[in-house]
Amino acid sequence: MSARASTHPMMGYAGGNSPERFLESNVLGDVPMDWDEGLLQRAQYDTSTQAHVNSIFNATLYAQYNDEHKWYNALTQVDRFNASLEGPVTAKAFRAATTPVDLQSHSEGGSVPAGQTMGVEEVEFDPKRSETVIEVTDLQQIRASIEDAVGFEEFWELQEQQLDLAIDRDGIASPVFQGDPQYDSVDEITTLDRVIASSDEEANAVDPNGNAYNDGDLDYGSVDRSADSWADSYVDHNGASGTRQLTNDLFTSFLNSMNEFAGVDVYNDVAILTGHDTAGVLSDLAAERNNVRNVAAMADYTTESVGDAESIRGLSGTARYRDYDGIPIIGNQHAIKHGDISSIFIVPTDTIRGQPRLSIEQFTAPYTETAGRGQSQGYLATGNYRDEALMLLNHEVINRDFASCGLIRDLAE
């Protein structure tokens, strides 16, 4: 064996060379002191498909979890398992009277009129399940901790954020199509397209694909849309006639009519949920109504710093309204489109008898379970060398005042 081969680090100290001689050879330059850096780098990034997959997975997570879930965040969250809440803690939405008592009269000396009874309706809802399950194998966890400083807990925290995103995107902001599974056949949290609807919409409007709804498509809880017109929200649709341009006249007429119909002050106690496309149109319409280009506060007549320089003194040349007639506009990239641009949902933000008019209600405390290395259940419990975690919510979108919700749809820019 040659002397050069005998001093190679992977071949040991054969040929009579001692460790001291090996170190001396390194000092003299026979073998570079950093001989192993290239190998270590290759081991970290290039030796397995899993390493590449893990890096791609992290990049994908970053993109996904930076998506917004504005509608889910905008709706009031209520913990029904909290006994300290005011008012009834039942998962029912009540309407106080569907047939108010009429004015009665009688002639002099006549008999007392018969008593009248108000119509009372109770609506029952099914708890729906939203869950997320994450699996990070033991090997992936170790590799992630070494390579990316991302361990199991970090993955799980991101997965909790993903659950919020999924509830928004795949649940409350999902459209209802002709023939979709009806309420009692759906396990997911109910979409606003079903929560805020009317008997006239189900009978005469079309779904986002232009197909007429089937009877029962927009049923919600125990509400039969075709029979229970008392549970109608204020829905402005264009039937099967296609779209109509969203203008100030159309939208203000809708708001004024809904204000007469609703049991809530439309101009103070509601919010607008829509897509970014329609939000931009509403902002432009609000600017047009307020003639923003001709109205300026002197406090805004300033300069703007650009690095160490300053712009000329003046006003900004653009303006974007965040509300329409004082009603906040909440945009969402997952918004429902029944036309060319996103539809506009009007949701109440106040309470009725101490309860939110519209909310997402949690019927039991969120349930979590973890298993794997260092978790509450070990490998023997699962039968796999794998880290797993589950998070489960039992909840539903509860509408306690149908008349205080609205929808204008079939819109074009």
Within a domain: 103: no
Computed over every residue of the chain, the mean pLDDT equals: 80
Q: Is the pLDDT of residue 291 over 70?
A: no
Instruction: Tell me how far apart the alpha carbons of residues 218 and 198 are, in angstroms, rounded to a whole number.
Output: 8
Range with the poorest average pLDDT among 72-86, 294-308, 309-323: 294-308
pLDDT in tens, 14-70: 344 444 443 444 444 454 555 444 434 444 444 455 665 666 666 666 666 666 788
pLDDT of residue 51: 61
Strands 406-408 and 234-236, by their bridges, are parallel
List C-alpha distances in Å: 31 to 12, 19, 319.
Answer: 13, 13, 67
pLDDT of residue 217: 97
Q: Is the pLDDT of residue 222 over 80?
A: yes
Instruction: Tell me how far apart the alpha carbons of residues 241 and 222 are, in angstroms, rounded to a whole number.
Output: 30
Res. 6 pLDDT band, cuts 50 70 90: very low
Q: What is the pTM of this model?
A: 0.77
Percent of the chain at pLDDT exceeding 70: 74
Res. 4 pLDDT band, cuts 50 70 90: very low
Instruction: Tell me how far apart the alpha carbons of residues 224 and 221 are, in angstroms, rounded to a whole number.
Output: 8
Q: Could you tell me how far CA 144 lies from the centroid of its own chain? A: 28
Q: Span 118-126, mean pLDDT?
A: 84
Range with the poorest average pLDDT among 250-254, 265-269, 290-294: 290-294
Asked whether 367 and 132 are in contact (CB, 8 A), the reply is no
Within a domain: 264: yes
pLDDT in tens, 137-175: 777 777 766 666 566 777 777 778 888 888 999 999 999
Q: Span 122-135, mean pLDDT?
A: 87
pLDDT in tens, 62-84: 666 666 788 998 999 988 877 55
pLDDT in tens, 177-216: 999 999 989 999 999 999 999 999 999 999 999 999 999 9
Count how many Cα atoms sit within 13 Å of the Cα of residue 290 in the half-sphere of its side chain. Answer: 17
Within a domain: 17: no
Within a domain: 379: yes
DSSP structural state of residue 113: P
Res. 101 pLDDT band, cuts 50 70 90: confident
Closest CA to 303 of 293, 295, 294, 315: 315
pLDDT of residue 149: 58
Within a domain: 48: no
Q: What domain count does the chain have?
A: 1
pLDDT of residue 102: 86
Asked whether 52 and 37 are in contact (CB, 8 A), the reply is no
Res. 354 pLDDT band, cuts 50 70 90: confident
Within a domain: 322: yes
pLDDT of residue 83: 55
Within a domain: 237: yes
Range with the poorest average pLDDT among 254-268, 271-285, 298-312, 344-358: 298-312
pLDDT of residue 64: 62
Domain that holds residue 320: 71-86+119-412
pLDDT of residue 90: 54
Q: Is the pLDDT of residue 252 over 90?
A: yes
Within a domain: 255: yes
